[in-house]
Chain A
Amino acid sequence: MSRLNPFAKLPGLNTASVLLVESEEHFQQSLAEALVEETSVTVNVRLAKSFPLPIENDESRPRIDLVVFIINLTSELSFQSAEASLKYLEPGYFLGKVCFMVTNARSSSVPAERLDAVRRLAASLHCPLLFAEEQTPEGVTNAAERLLTILKAAAGFVPFTTPLYLSNLTRCTLPPDIDQPSFD
């Protein structure tokens, strides 16, 4: 089983590469379009449905600086697919080069346990958990901006800031009452 390695290849000049993983392939398109609008660095966006990634692209694929798992909270499959994909990443990625992005968090049809489960997963991996409003263009732009900040740090464009340092502050933490019974 070949895992994705964060340091196996050399980085491109003034280039940052991000991989958006979403099992539904819905939000990643609009997010990608917003991401490539960045002008200060060349942003390379790659889209994937899930891991493992196709072998035929292994040679041409650039060094991936940030892996973003997009989870649609209204679908259980989305979460499971993201969870199953984690084992295809080298541990080096979990030092600030992985991020979780959640959509439809405010929807009423989302069971509370699913959001808790995503939170627990993100907290156990010390990864940031971002929420995105995918319905509005402003929401998409905002999500792209936040991702770009993390991406720039992950790709080494911010002096004296490593992705690990950034993730130390932005990583997801569990609220103390997460284990209390709740109703829904």
Chain B
Amino acid sequence: MPSSSLATTRLLIKPQTALKSSFLRFMLMFLCNMVKCKHRCPTFLQKAPIHVSSVGLCFFFLPMILVSGAGSSPCVRVLKCLIPASVVPQQAVVRAVVWLNVSKIPISTQVLFIKWVLTVFDLIDAKDQLRAIYGFIFSFITEENLCPYICHLLYLLTRKENVHLYRVRKLLELQSKLGRQPFLMHLLSLYKVFCPELVTLSIPSRIRSGFKNYISPWKSALVAVQKSNGQQVSSSISAAFTIKEKSISRKRKHCHLDLPALSSVLNKEPQSEQTSRRKMVPLVHLSSFAQMLKDMHRIELPAQMGSLLGSSLALQYLDCVQEESALLRLNFWLGCALHEGNLSHFVFQEGFSSSDAFLYKFLNVWDGSLLRPQILGLLSNIPVIPSTRGFFFYSAFRCFSVDFPALCLLLHRSWEPVCDCQLSLCCRNITLSGFKDSVMELVHFVGRLASLGLQLEGCNTLLLSFILDFYETVCDTFLKFGLPLVVMPPPGVFYPALLATDPVSVDRLAYIMHRWVVFLTPGKQRSKKTLHSLFVSRHTFRQFNHYLVFMVNCLWNCRMFHANTDMHVREELLHKSNVPQYWTRFDFIHHPAFTGYAVDFHQKCWPGKKDVDVNSIKSKPWSWYLEYLFNQGFDGLKDFVHSSISRQVTAGDKLQDSQQR
């Protein structure tokens, strides 16, 4: 970080001033002396950036700095200190580039100059002249020392018309000489996006963040200087777009690390005649959706791809057009933003596919709480498949079981990607069975997370509610998504729900079991959809049967600790507990969740009685009690009892041995 004592010197040179080389040489010397005097060891620009006015110094100084033969050391020093105030006129850069080749400038200075151009790239007011000399810049690629930086610069300037076979050949030639260097691969991958037929080599999918970040100290000094002057980086904010108010005011403080304002490649305001003559319409000039539709085929993307994230109209356009080069550039910008670290003003637009790649990279290094609502929002949009990415999706969530609120959110939103996937299945080249396997994997994984989460949180009711919600949706997958999915909740979810102390959990579990009973029992399905394609494994059926038997035994038959159930506790232990009639302790009367209702009912039945003996409900008022209980809103219980339990009521009032279906 630059120290608080930043030396800022304003220099204004009027363009009309006669520029004799001696005068400029004098200015150079003057500057260098100033630099030398202010600081004993002028090593790096953080100590003494010189704040220069755009038009004057840059325009004339820049090429002269390079040309001046007055020793490279002061020249280098001055170049290092050159920080533009607002805008760098592209003419200055073009002229400087031209001079690069002409005069005998040492290589280190050339490298420094290109690095400088890369640092201030976003401040260059227009890029069309730079693009015009694309070929010229490309010719520098053969210079080994300059190669990485030239590649980076070309990456920022390339457009479809610049990709030619001879350029691709040149890059491949260089690759064979220098090896598979990352900067060459990046440029080739961009070429491949524009013209896939020209670039036939395969690019590994695991492309990391981008070019080496060798300009970050420079960039931070740039930001600091501009901050200290309270200036904004980009020159035009389009009022027509719905950029959030908050982000605009914050942009004034954190210039470079924010979303840049949407601006056109050519910054000048075009005349109305020019617009019609020009072939492309910059995105910034569109003010409404209707206009965008009219000019859809002529829209030109801005130079700063990140600026699109703030404008909904721009994102709609991108999503619709699906231009790969634009998406690639946006990914690159997002990657840089991720590493720059300041994401506090990130505005994520949902439904935008470019955020997928960014999201995977981010989840890789996520601590679980930074920008959590936004990230979880984005997660609802990413596809569950393909499986390599799905794997990553899961691994990032392994830590969610240790994070209760996050787990709730995850469960709440986890079905949204499935819905989206289902709709666009045909576009994704994936078979139904492959999709079903992925969803099955997701459900199993959530089951594990849920079991662990419940254990860690002591069977928290809210968490249980979200989990049961999730399993309710699993029941509906066939109806909603056409997926024949049969997955039971794991024991770690089933038993805590059945033995929960709040009635809502028991009710919801009963509803889930009722749905499965209906689904799996032939003859009971109301839906016309046939299940002949459904294959349910024996294991699933066994599990289902166990659950059903246990549940009915528990709630109805008063045979909770029956030998064949999962919950097998030894008789001696049960006797030791001194609980009277332990086998009835979880039925509809004694279950901790329903005791309150039982007592209530008892008092309604026998208002005068002081001694509350809920066992007396078991006789004649039993069916009234059940009706009373179900009318409290426990539809799940009602459905479950009706579908799974058939009762035989004999002539007497006593309830005979009931059997389950």
List chain A positions with a Cβ less than 8 A from chain B.
Answer: 102, 105-109, 112, 115, 128, 130-133, 138-139, 142-143, 145-146, 149-150, 152-153, 158-161, 165-166, 169-173, 175-177, 180-184
Contact = CB atoms under 8 A, between A and B. Distances in A.
Interface stretch (B203-211, B530-538, B645-653): B203-211
Nearest to B369: A142
B370 A176 contact: no
A108 B204 contact: no
Contact of A183 (B182, B369, B401, B448): B182
Contacts of A177: 205-206, 388
B456 A182 contact: no
Q: Is the interface of B mostly helix, strand, loop or mixed?
A: helix
B367 interface: yes
B644 to A, nearest CB: 29
Given A130-B367, A132-B367, A177-B388, A158 B208 contact: no
Contacts of B168: none
B223 to A, nearest CB: 15
B186 interface: yes
A128 B364 CA distance: 14
Contacts of A158: 455-456
A149 to B, nearest CB: 4
Contact of B185 (A115, A150, A161, A183): A183
Contacts of A108: 209, 213, 216, 336, 339-341
Nearest to A102: B365
Contacts of B369: 133, 138-139, 142
B504 interface: no
Contact of B370 (A133, A166, A171, A175): A133
A149 B365 contact: no
B455 A128 contact: no
B398 A169 contact: yes
Given A149-B456, A161-B456, A175 B368 contact: no
A116 to B, nearest CB: 10
B348 interface: no
Question: Which among B366, B370, B402, B449 has the highest number of chain A CB atoms within 10 Å?
Answer: B402
Interface residues of B, number: 39
Contacts of A181: 180, 204, 206
Contact of B398 (A131, A138, A170): A170
Contacts of B388: 175-177
B212 interface: yes
Nearest to A119: B364
A22 to B, nearest CB: 16
B367 A112 contact: no
Given A173-B395, A175-B391, A142 B367 contact: yes
Interface in B411-456: 448-449, 452, 455-456
15 contacts: A102-B365, A108-B336, A115-B364, A131-B366, A139-B370, A142-B369, A149-B403, A153-B456, A169-B452, A170-B398, A175-B391, A181-B180, A183-B186, A184-B209, A184-B212
B291 to A, nearest CB: 39
B208 A112 contact: yes
Nearest to A152: B456
Interface in B351-374: 364-370
A155 to B, nearest CB: 13
B428 to A, nearest CB: 19
Nearest to A183: B182
A146 B341 contact: no
A66 to B, nearest CB: 13
Given A128-B399, A177-B388, A183-B185, A160 B455 contact: yes
Contacts of A184: 182, 208-209, 212
B385 to A, nearest CB: 14
A106 B204 contact: no
B392 A175 contact: yes
Contacts of A145: 403
Nearest to A138: B369
B338 interface: yes
B201 to A, nearest CB: 13
Contacts of A146: 368, 399, 402-403
Contacts of B391: 175-176
Contacts of A172: 395
Given A177-B388, A184-B209, A169 B449 contact: yes
Given A115-B365, A153-B456, A158-B456, A170 B206 contact: no
A131 B367 contact: yes
Nearest to A142: B369
A75 to B, nearest CB: 16
Nearest to B363: A131
Contacts of A175: 388, 391-392, 395
Contact of A107 (B185, B339, B403, B455): B339
A42 B209 CA distance: 43
A169 B64 CA distance: 64
A32 B213 CA distance: 34
B458 to A, nearest CB: 8
Contacts of B403: 145-146, 149
Interface string B309-327: 0000000000000000000
Interface in B370-394: 370, 388, 391-392
Nearest to A175: B392
Contacts of A139: 367, 369-370
B368 A142 contact: yes
A158 B182 CA distance: 49
Given A130-B367, A184-B209, A106 B456 contact: no
